[in-house]
């Protein structure tokens, strides 16, 4: 049975003191208010990961996630962070291939395949992001484009390895724009993603993979989005920076 997951991607936000306050608030709110079977992943900037680990109780529903890692295990890559480094400070999940990484840093599907491999080799869970631009949504084969991202970056994996991957569908046109895919649009793409995985690996594998929605989901629309049969939670951006809003999103996924 696939997991319900809500991951908060803080992106490049918060000072250390602000991060500590947000961590404390979210951890306590989730403890007090969330009783259902949902996993919470907090993804602060990498500079705060060690401190964040101290705020997150071990063995609970809240997990620590990183926003990125390098595709090499080690080497002369100034400023980069490897999956083994993340593992050593208690990280459990790693976002791979967020649309902003693809857009601003030119990350390719082949490069992301390497990142997925390094994350899995270190016993961590990749949250693999895929999604289409507004131009593709309006004028192109957006379903085929997203399927291509999955094929190029994930389909080299064995079925056993793929079972440890979380997929996040991000309609790029709905990130930071105030636009949000309707629940029907989200369900359509989540179904297509799951079916594409089933075509390669079989229905049993596809049905066990969590697919998150990642496009301006917030406390107001989360319940509707998460009610769809193939939407297993969310990768939350702006709303994850506010403890009340984020906790309400988590509660919507119960």
| Residues in contact with 105: Cβ distance below 8 Å, sequence separation at least 6, in sequence order | none
Q: Could you say which of 70, 92, 98, 196 is catalytic?
A: 98
What whole-number distance in Å separates Cα of residue 138 and Cα of residue 117?
Answer: 33
Q: Could you say which of 92, 107, 170, 219 is catalytic?
A: 170
Report DSSP letters for the chain, one per residue: -PPPEEEEE--S---HHHHHHHHHHHHHHHHHH--SS-EEEEE--GGGHHHHHHHSPTTSSEEEEES---SSSSSS-TT---HHHHHHTT--EEEES-HHHHHHH---HHHHHHHHHHHHHTT-EEEEEE---HHHHHHS-HHHHHHHHHHHHHTTS-HHHHTT-EEEE--GGGSSSS----HHHHHHHHHHHHHHHHHHH-HHHHHHS-EEE-SS--TTTHHHHHTSTT--EEEESGGGGSHHHHHHHHHHT-
Q: Are 73 and 81 in contact (CB under 8 A)?
A: no
170 is catalytic: yes
Q: Which two tokens stand for residue 39?
A: 């996993």
Q: List, by residue number, the catalytic residues.
A: 98, 170
């Amino acid at each position: 049975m696939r997991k319900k997951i809500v991951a908060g991607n803080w992106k490049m936000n918060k000072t250390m003191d602000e991060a500590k306050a947000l961590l404390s608030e979210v951890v306590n709110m989730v403890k007090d208010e969330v009783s259902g079977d949902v996993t919470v992943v907090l993804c602060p900037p990498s500079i705060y990961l060690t401190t964040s680990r101290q705020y997150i109780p071990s063995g609970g529903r809240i997990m620590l996630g990183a926003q990125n890692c390098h595709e090499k295990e080690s080497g002369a890559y100034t400023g980069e962070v490897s999956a083994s480094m993340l593992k050593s400070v208690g990280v459990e999940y790693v976002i791979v291939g967020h649309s902003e990484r693809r857009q601003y840093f030119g990350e390719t599907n082949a490069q992301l395949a390497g990142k997925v491999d390094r994350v899995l080799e270190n016993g961590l869970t990749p949250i693999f992001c895929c999604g289409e631009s507004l131009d593709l949504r309006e004028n192109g084969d957006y379903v085929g484009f997203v399927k291509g991202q999955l094929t190029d970056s994930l389909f080299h994996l064995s079925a056993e390895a793929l079972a440890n991957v979380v997929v996040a569908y991000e309609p790029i046109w709905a990130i930071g724009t105030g636009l949000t895919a309707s629940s029907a649009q989200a369900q359509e793409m989540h179904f297509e993603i799951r079916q594409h995985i089933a075509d390669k690996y079989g229905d049993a594998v596809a049905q066990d993979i969590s697919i998150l929605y990642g496009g301006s989901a917030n406390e107001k629309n989360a319940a509707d989005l998460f009610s769809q049969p193939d939407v297993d939670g969310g990768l939350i951006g702006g709303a994850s920076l506010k403890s009340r809003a984020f906790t309400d999103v988590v509660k919507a996924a119960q």
